[in-house]
Chains A and B, each alone.
Chain A
Amino acid sequence: MGIVVEGKGLTKHFGEGDARVVAVDQVDIAIEESELVMFMGDSGCGKTTLISLLGCILTPSEGDVWIGGEQIDYENHDLSQLRSEKIGFVFQLFNLIPYLTAVENVTVAMDIAGMKGNEAEKRAAELLTQVGLDQRLHHRPAQLSGGEKQRVSFARALANNPQIIFADEPTANLDSRQSANLMNLVRELRQEHQTTIAIVTHHEGLKKDADRVIQMKDGQIVSV
């Protein structure tokens, strides 16, 4: 199995002087194809910052990132295009666009990547059917439950066949039944798409599904 995402010597600090905070400190990490990795640790330990660095949303203060074996050149790479084509994101607060229906929320990700028209709509409907929302295609986020919104989020993350999906606390706003259903979905998606998934979570109960649990503290990986 090849390495999908790799970071070497990753450091990210915010602020300067006395206000300087080191969020991620000299982290080396590699995530392999089809792997389900979970990042755990106390609040503020740097989990979200680390996946933001690996997902090319943040630029590291030091260190390098490779996506699909290609080193990221932060000055010359079009990072937004890279994110749209190779990376999927699922957020804690679902972050669906409120004025778009479920199918449109998935289509917009394909629109950004350049896929237009019926082809995009057809694929969006297929993905939503896969996540069990075939009866909710034309519902707006306000008409969906938390669990359903998070399923739309996963469908959106899968829209452009990403090499990896980063999910930030995907179950934090769900009750235990919805969390269990979502993890079932993650398992199904892995079987179906062989997708590599990295999940940031506080939820100890999710550990059993992980191929690897990465424990973080003070911006560093303390155990794998």
Chain B
Amino acid sequence: MNNVFLKDMAYRKARVILTTIGITVLIALILMLGGIMNGMRIQAQQYPTFTGANIWISAEGSGSAFVGFSLLVPEHLAYLDGAQPLKPNSVSPLVFAHARPVIRGKLGKAVVVGYKADKLGGPTQFELSEGRLVTASQYEGWAEADIPPREVVVDEKMNLEIGERILIGNKELKVVGKAKSLMFVLDTPLLFMDLRTAQEVLLKNSLHVNMMIAQAAEGYTPEKAAKELEGFDEQLKTIDVRTLKQTLRDIIATYVDEPMKAVQFLRVMLWIAAGLIVGMITYVTTLEKTQEIGVLKAIGASNFYISSLIIKQVVLMSVVGVVCGLILSYIFAVAAPIFVSIHPVESGIVALISFVVCCAGGYLAARKAIAVDPMVAFRGEV
């Protein structure tokens, strides 16, 4: 009679179903939270990787290009443009800043990328799904009175039409192109505009930039180029140089790992909750079944027989709960309003850990069961 545990579960089906649903929801939440963080990591890396730059320069002490408040002046560009470790003509000044554009009368969120035409950091015509690139400014001989082109290339997922207008910093910008989707963390769309336009709408026409990006010259690894540039900067002592790898590490730490510490903590709490749910419900059920367990022990059931009845139930509930949780998490990921990336390997690890945690809860209940005195079979007395 191998199915005694199944008959017991069928007899207490409401409790079994509720416990399994509890595990399912908790596993789905654990995976979703992990998926949100994965999604943020992927999006955090998209733009820096897209630029093709492997050298990232920011103001000294700012932390890194994406981390702190960095301002670089045109003199830096002049200094870096001829630097030997960098590929000739590859240095590109960038404005990269979060903004709140007004789109169709509503306040939205976006990251403004101001770049120089034909330099690193902006899209090429090939990377547009519709429309054209923004018109380039006259960078040489710029005067404050000059009005930069008020044009913007938006992300295709923003559902804006070519020719529509958006407001940033009270300046009206015309949508001239749509870039193939390239989001920053938490589905924040990128708005590409000419460097001077970005300086006008965000920096009150100041000629400062946040960062400069470049490519290492032939014969230089990014690490070697970065080290030598820091050395060249002995006179200015005003720049930090990082490789793409370091920049990605910084950006992930700043935008994902640090803010998500609480979420990581929450994930651990959810695991503990899953274990507690299984443990407590199985424990309470075991207490309820004390008389039955006592009878089974009185008629000769071994500790192994008793504990295996309970462990089998917990294993079955955990397996069903974990599998349903996996399926549910993938459904949630598709329906979520932000980018969620659930990694199959991580799903496997989460499933395994959750299964072990649930079984640990069941093990405690099984220990309680084998401690039942068979004397309870006689008149319920211990």
| Chain A residue contacts of B300, Cβ below 8 A | 80-85, 87, 109, 112-113, 160
| Chain B residue contacts of A169, Cβ below 8 A | 379
B371 to chain A, nearest CB (A): 14
| Chain A residue contacts of B27, Cβ below 8 A | none
Asked whether B380 is an interface residue with its Cβ less than 8 Å from the other chain, the reply is: yes
Among listed A24-32, A94-102, A129-137, A202-210, interface-contacting one:
A94-102
- Contact check, A92 vs B11: say whether CB atoms are below 8 A apart: no
Q: Mark A65-102, 1 if CB is under 8 A from B, else 0.
A: 00000000000001011111101110111010111100
Known: A83-B299, A95-B291, A109-B300. A116 touches B1 (CB 8 A): yes
Residue of A nearest to B291 (CB): A95
Interface residues on B, range: 20 to 34
B4 to chain A, nearest CB (A): 6
The majority secondary structure among interface residues of chain B is helix
Residue of A nearest to B380 (CB): A93
Q: Mark B213-230, 1 if CB is under 8 A from A, else 0.
A: 000000000000000000
Asked whether B69 is an interface residue with its Cβ less than 8 Å from the other chain, the reply is: no
Asked whether A33 is an interface residue with its Cβ less than 8 Å from the other chain, the reply is: no
B298 partner, pick from A57, A85, A98, beta carbons under 8 A:
A57
Residue of B nearest to A168 (CB): B378
- Contact check, B8 vs A93: say whether CB atoms are below 8 A apart: no
B366 to chain A, nearest CB (A): 16
B377 partner, pick from A95, A108, A116, beta carbons under 8 A:
A95
- Contact check, B377 vs A107: say whether CB atoms are below 8 A apart: no
A104 to B8, CA, bound (A): 12
Residue of B nearest to A200 (CB): B378
A89 to B296, CA, bound (A): 11
A71 to B4, CA, bound (A): 34
A137 to B219, CA, bound (A): 88
Known: A93-B380, A108-B4, A111-B1. A52 touches B301 (CB 8 A): no
Q: Mark B249-271, 1 if CB is under 8 A from A, else 0.
A: 00000000000000000000000
A107 to B302, CA, bound (A): 16
Asked whether A58 is an interface residue with its Cβ less than 8 Å from the other chain, the reply is: yes
Asked whether B177 is an interface residue with its Cβ less than 8 Å from the other chain, the reply is: no
Residue of A nearest to B7 (CB): A99
A87 to chain B, nearest CB (A): 8
> Which residues of A, 109-140, contact B by the 8 Å Cβ criterion?
109, 111-113, 116, 120
Q: Mark B345-382, 1 if CB is under 8 A from A, else 0.
A: 00000000000000000000000000000110111100
- Contact check, A57 vs B375: say whether CB atoms are below 8 A apart: yes
A85 to B300, CA, bound (A): 8
Asked whether A171 is an interface residue with its Cβ less than 8 Å from the other chain, the reply is: no
| Chain A residue contacts of B375, Cβ below 8 A | 52, 57-58
| Chain B residue contacts of A160, Cβ below 8 A | 300
Q: Which of B291, B299, B374, B380 has the most CB of A within 10 A?
A: B299
Q: Which of B12, B294, B295, B380 has the most CB of A within 10 A?
A: B295
A80 partner, pick from B2, B10, B301, beta carbons under 8 A:
B301
A54 to B292, CA, bound (A): 22
A83 partner, pick from B294, B298, B379, beta carbons under 8 A:
B298
- Contact check, A100 vs B7: say whether CB atoms are below 8 A apart: yes
Asked whether A48 is an interface residue with its Cβ less than 8 Å from the other chain, the reply is: yes
B315 to chain A, nearest CB (A): 19
Asked whether A151 is an interface residue with its Cβ less than 8 Å from the other chain, the reply is: no
A89 partner, pick from B2, B299, B379, beta carbons under 8 A:
B299
Asked whether A149 is an interface residue with its Cβ less than 8 Å from the other chain, the reply is: no
Residue of B nearest to A99 (CB): B11
A66 to chain B, nearest CB (A): 19
Residue of B nearest to A101 (CB): B7
The 6 closest A-B pairs by CB, nearest first: A84-B300, A99-B11, A111-B1, A83-B300, A95-B295, A80-B302
A-B contact pairs, 14 of them (CB 8 A): A48-B379, A57-B298, A80-B300, A81-B300, A87-B300, A91-B378, A91-B379, A97-B295, A97-B296, A99-B12, A104-B1, A109-B300, A116-B1, A168-B379
